[in-house]
Amino acid sequence: MKKNFVFGIILATTMGLSPSVGSAEGITGFQDFQFGMSLSDVQAITNLTQGERHPRGQWYKASEIVTILGDEYAPSLLFNDAGILTNVSLTREFAGHRITCKGAFDRALGAIQANHGEPDQPPERESDAVRELNSVHFTKSDGSRLTLFSYYLTSCQITVGYGAAPVGAGF
């Protein structure tokens, strides 16, 4: 039987305070999804549906939804061509005003900063009469990365991406 995926109630817990997610030195994955796991290891945890091809590998969508602060996020996992997990992406889309979208971005940013400290640079914010984009990056000393992104046009999309350190990266 596949493991049930409900990951907690507090965004700060699921995005950083759990020891399996990372430390000041690096991000090792998201919850049960640890970078370096094989495709078959992950399939033993959850059902996956093959998604889009990516220049760095193959995306898969997990069948279970992750609940964070009462909001549902759809997990996607990127495996490199050797079948090794390198990225985890959590995406949420909802109807609402652009102010609501910016507020959701800022709330997620605060929770991430509580664990990971200050981002590489202040958030990039771009908007015009019809759309709004927000993004921010956190790079760890081993080269692993956490990215928060929001996009509003007619609905809001929030994405949190966890990326493994590239081979040979670090500072």
User: What pTM was estimated for this model as a whole?
Assistant: 0.81
Residue 1 vs residues 7, 43, 93, 123: alpha-carbon distances, Å: 18, 11, 29, 41
The Cβ-side half-sphere exposure at 97, using a 13 Å CA radius, reads 3
Residue 31: pLDDT band with limits 50, 70, 90: confident
Do residues 140 and 25 make contact, with C-beta atoms less than 8 angstroms apart?
A: yes
Assess whether pLDDT exceeds 80 at residue 18: no
Residue 92 vs residues 36, 119, 168: alpha-carbon distances, Å: 25, 21, 32
At 119-148, the pLDDT tens digits run 999 999 999 988 999 999 999 999 999 999
